[in-house]
Structure 1
């Protein structure tokens, strides 16, 4: 029997039963097990296979492209919307923003066309896909809603109406799995408070903040911005609602405003608005097939929800806002005068995520396992061929995003970041197929090409994800075999392939193979 065939969970139970366990029950390992499980999936897959010739060719092309682009962690901060320390974000702001972002980083694809799909208006643009999520967070912070403060998620002020305003769409389609996103925020807030909270920190939102919000609610109409005025970089060309009404509803919420800034490019799981340098590389992966109409990355299953009180001091105003304001003018609902924002008392920092990171002790693997242990929504596991397998996409990408955001320093310093695998989602399998790395059985190929949905946990879906992880690992090994000093890891390869897939779809007319359709919270 090969070591990879051993059921480690069963082995650990047997060790504990006979008092032979070499770990304390509360000790968290740095080995996520994802790579071994991916190999198990690959070894037993019958509908997805890896072409070794395609893998070698892809490794050569990817290495050349990454060298020409000087692809590194520096690209993370070049994303148009990612927060930066240079903007005035503190370290705790950055950590909380990234945690919130990756907590909700799933299911952005749509069956609607590009004009009708979910979009977020922010800074004079309309953002889709992953970018729409980041735009929602930035827009809410600019409007005084502390959406990236975990303590806020379970406070009385965080009603369903407020969350719906945070994710407000510029089109008729709302963000996919909205109810699940709200449930995840509340669940994660409770876990952070119970497991990583500080008794000396307040559990809810400061009374002083709520009191100041009530004062702003009664601000005179003359102090509000005019329709069409440039507000925090958002120029409203369409008809806008009464801005005083929008201010009243939003300013009754606790503030945590942050400055905004421009950036240029994206990395890791984002819909790029500008052309990526070197995008013409790996031309063999592109066909003349027109792009698919709408899809863009994502998925999920319902989670338990925590019952909240239906009446709060802000609910009446938010109800009025959602019923009276035209959807396409939603950014104005977050507009507050700069002088008013400066006058607001600041929300006390929430350090619960920082304490979570401190327990990881600069181990990316340990952080991933801590997330999977404490948060059901990060526990991306299923069964395949009679064995439990771990894929842990969002838990791993949280470690990777911290690594990129802090450029491998401070809270982004991990001694074992090279042990993180590729993040099994939609776009990278799609790109690997276009590069002739992955091949599919006729039934699976037909299911994907005809855009038929695939259940989360279905054998085909697990094979797609597991074989993608193993394929990227083989690409990494091949690059290092030929170029020992390349300094590449699975994180950078994943980011590059994702960006390349998005760029090829937009610039070169689309990829021949659509991505598979699975709707779940896991990716």
Structure 2
């Protein structure tokens, strides 16, 4: 099993190329709002159209930001989004006709304003200056995703060169556990599975939610170790395309879910309405 490292451009160039001037700040803005895309039961999904195609979830967010750039909205400039109004953000994230509005819009508005204010106050108005301080990132899914995307965008070189990238864990969201259950790397207790099948929303920070996310991290750590052992025995451990860390395993699992979304519908994913993932 191999994975090309630089696949961060996503479908249809939704994500920037490393040569784009605002590539890093685009990723930063996207990850500031990268949480909780699932709709309420019985409600349509949030769908965004760009260049004649429709997207959901994180890719819908990227499409909305791309569309904003085309409309000359300075979406990567913290001078703009530190004071962005709810009306402006709603327009940027507007869905296609008959689709739902993005969940937690007010919370995304607060996140954008706070992130913009901090960049302006402490980091010269760009995430590039933030990264150069080499701050240590703890177990925070959205922050981890941002670092991993920069690493993948630049193929682990230049601005994306991190000597400690292997210290990142998997990004414990609500889709990766779903795929791990599919592969029998995780197994839910019967009563918890029943609650998930009934679309029960778990309280953020509840024991059930924390256990699912924690077990996700542990499962992927074990998978990563097995992959390292496999490549070492097969003599392919030095291959630049080998899956050798949790970041790449996460990328594979997350994309597997998108490719085989219909087949995985039989497995429920845990729901917790929050800004953290």
- Settle same-fold status: TM greater than 0.5: yes
User: Displacement, 1:129?
Assistant: 1.1
1:83 corresponds to: 16
Cα distance in 1 for residues equivalent to 2:217 and 2:55: 29
Distance 1:173 1:511, change over 3 A: closer
Which of these residues, 97, 103, 112, is aligned with residue 26 of structure 2? Answer: 97
Is 2:93–2:102's contact at 8 Å kept on the other side of the alignment? yes
Is 1:418–1:489's contact at 8 Å kept on the other side of the alignment? yes
Cα distance in 1 for residues equivalent to 2:271 and 2:66: 28
1:495 corresponds to: 251
Is 1:404–1:412's contact at 8 Å kept on the other side of the alignment? yes
2:275 corresponds to: 521
Is 1:168 equivalent to 2:94 in the alignment? yes
User: Displacement, 1:510?
Assistant: 3.1
User: Displacement, 1:520?
Assistant: 0.7
Cα distance in 2 for residues equivalent to 1:488 and 1:470: 16
Residues 250-329 of structure 1 mapped to structure 2, 5 A cutoff: none
Larger RCO of the pair (alpha carbons < 8 Å, separation 6+): 1
User: Displacement, 1:481?
Assistant: 1.6
Residues 478-489 of structure 1 mapped to structure 2, 5 A cutoff: 478-484=226-232, 485=237, 486=242, 488-489=244-245
User: Displacement, 1:152?
Assistant: 1.1
Cα distance in 2 for residues equivalent to 1:358 and 1:497: 30
User: Displacement, 1:408?
Assistant: 0.8
Is 1:122 equivalent to 2:55 in the alignment? no
Rg larger for: 1
Which of these residues, 441, 453, 459, is aligned with residue 207 of structure 2? Answer: 459
Is 1:429–1:515's contact at 8 Å kept on the other side of the alignment? yes
Cα distance in 2 for residues equivalent to 1:121 and 1:168: 9
Is 1:426 equivalent to 2:174 in the alignment? yes
Cα distance in 1 for residues equivalent to 2:49 and 2:41: 18
1:292 corresponds to: none
Paired residues in the alignment total 267
Which of these residues, 190, 197, 206, is aligned with residue 442 of structure 1? Answer: 190
1:139 corresponds to: 67
Is 1:434–1:511's contact at 8 Å kept on the other side of the alignment? no
Is 1:510 equivalent to 2:258 in the alignment? no
User: Displacement, 1:434?
Assistant: 1.2
Residues 14-413 of structure 1 mapped to structure 2, 5 A cutoff: 66-67=1-2, 71-80=3-12, 81-86=14-19, 89-90=20-21, 93-111=22-40, 116-155=44-83, 158-170=84-96, 171-197=98-124, 350=125, 352-360=126-134, 366-369=135-138, 391-413=139-161
User: Displacement, 1:181?
Assistant: 0.5
Cα distance in 2 for residues equivalent to 1:127 and 1:178: 18
User: Displacement, 1:78?
Assistant: 4.5
Q: CA RMSD in A?
A: 1.7
TM-score, length basis structure 1: 0.49
Cα distance in 2 for residues equivalent to 1:410 and 1:468: 31
> Secondary structure at the residue paired with 2:179?
helix
Cα distance in 2 for residues equivalent to 1:413 and 1:113: 44
TM-score, length basis structure 2: 0.91
User: Displacement, 1:487?
Assistant: 5.1
Q: Any unmatched runs of 5+ in structure 1? A: 1-65, 198-349, 361-365, 370-390
Cα distance in 2 for residues equivalent to 1:78 and 1:191: 28
Distance 1:165 1:488, change over 3 A: same
User: Displacement, 1:85?
Assistant: 4.0
Cα distance in 2 for residues equivalent to 1:117 and 1:356: 34
User: Displacement, 1:428?
Assistant: 0.9
Using the TM superposition, name which of 442-451 and 453-462 deviates more: 442-451
